[in-house]
């Protein structure tokens, strides 16, 4: 075990659009990073090398977020490398769209496994392991408030993320650990852009008063705030959406 005074963050889905931006942003703040990935080791290794090239410390850890054994092993690896964990940012998630009336229930189960069970498993590990002064930030979605057609099942899964986040914040009374959720609006990530034509993207870009889609960096900024100086924000969902809702 390597003891360090540097704060340590584990970012699940750390190679995705928002996850990668969070890794880069927390590295700027001096965190040592654990970049979690589910399947793309090469992308995780590239992310680690990018942090190291800027003088930071990082490792890659693997595992299915919904598998409690795999995620316990991932947390073990982070603690073995850095001596502890101060911040967990849970960006891992999937989005499968369909009207509720015609949704394939296998797709519902897939989203439930990753978005709900996965968030629960990671939150459970974080609740057990975060050091005093730590923070857990889960990622919800502003789609829980927007009522967009075809997003019903996805929004439902993210509503569950918010519910467990706000309850956990109260359950950790006395541990000096904050628990919050960040709820992005339409954000230009590969996950969000997939399957949308230019007309749809143009309409979404105009929906917010700022008249653009969010960027992964827009979402990483409030996450970094909650991970660092925002110690008096606890048990909240922060809507990072440019004013769309």
3-state secondary structure the chain: CCCCCCCEEEEECCCCHHHHHHHHHHHHCCCEEEEEECCCHHHHHHHHHHHHHCCCCEEEEECCCCCHHHHHHHHHHHHHHHCCCCEEEECCCCCCCCCHHHCCHHHHHHHHHHHHHHHHHHHHHHHHHCCCCCEEEEECCCHHHHCCCCCHHHHHHHHHHHHHHHHHHHHCCCCCCEEEEEEECCECCHHHHCCCCHHHHHHHHHHCCCCCCECHHHHHHHHHHHHCCCCCCCCCEEEECCCCC
Q: Which of 37, 151, 154, 239 is catalytic?
A: 154
- In the annotation, is 154 catalytic? yes
Residues tagged active-site: 154
């Amino acid at each position: 075990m390597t003891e360090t005074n540097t704060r340590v963050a584990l970012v699940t889905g750390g190679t995705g659009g928002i996850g990668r931006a969070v890794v880069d942003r927390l590295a700027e703040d001096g965190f040592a990073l654990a970049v979690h990935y589910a399947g793309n080791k090469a992308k995780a290794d590239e992310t680690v090398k990018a942090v190291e090239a800027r003088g930071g410390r990082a490792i890659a850890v693997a595992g299915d977020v919904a598998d409690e054994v795999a995620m316990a092993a991932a947390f073990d690896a982070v603690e073995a490398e850095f001596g502890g964990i101060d911040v967990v940012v849970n960006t891992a998630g999937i989005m499968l769209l369909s009207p509720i009336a015609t949704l394939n229930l296998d797709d519902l189960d897939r989203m439930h496994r990753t978005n709900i069970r996965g968030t629960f498993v990671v939150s459970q590990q974080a609740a057990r392991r975060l050091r005093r002064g730590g923070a857990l930030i889960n990622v919800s979605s502003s789609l829980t408030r927007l009522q967009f057609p075809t997003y019903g099942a996805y929004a439902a899964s993210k509503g569950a993320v918010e519910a467990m986040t706000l309850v956990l914040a109260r359950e950790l009374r006395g541990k000096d650990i904050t628990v919050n959720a960040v709820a992005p609006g339409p954000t230009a990530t590969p996950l969000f852009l997939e399957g949308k034509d230019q007309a749809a993207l143009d309409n979404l870009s105009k929906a917010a008063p700022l008249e653009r889609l969010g960027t992964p960096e827009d979402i990483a900024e409030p996450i970094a705030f909650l991970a660092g100086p925002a110690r008096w924000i606890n048990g909240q969902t922060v809507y990072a959406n440019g004013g769309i809702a």
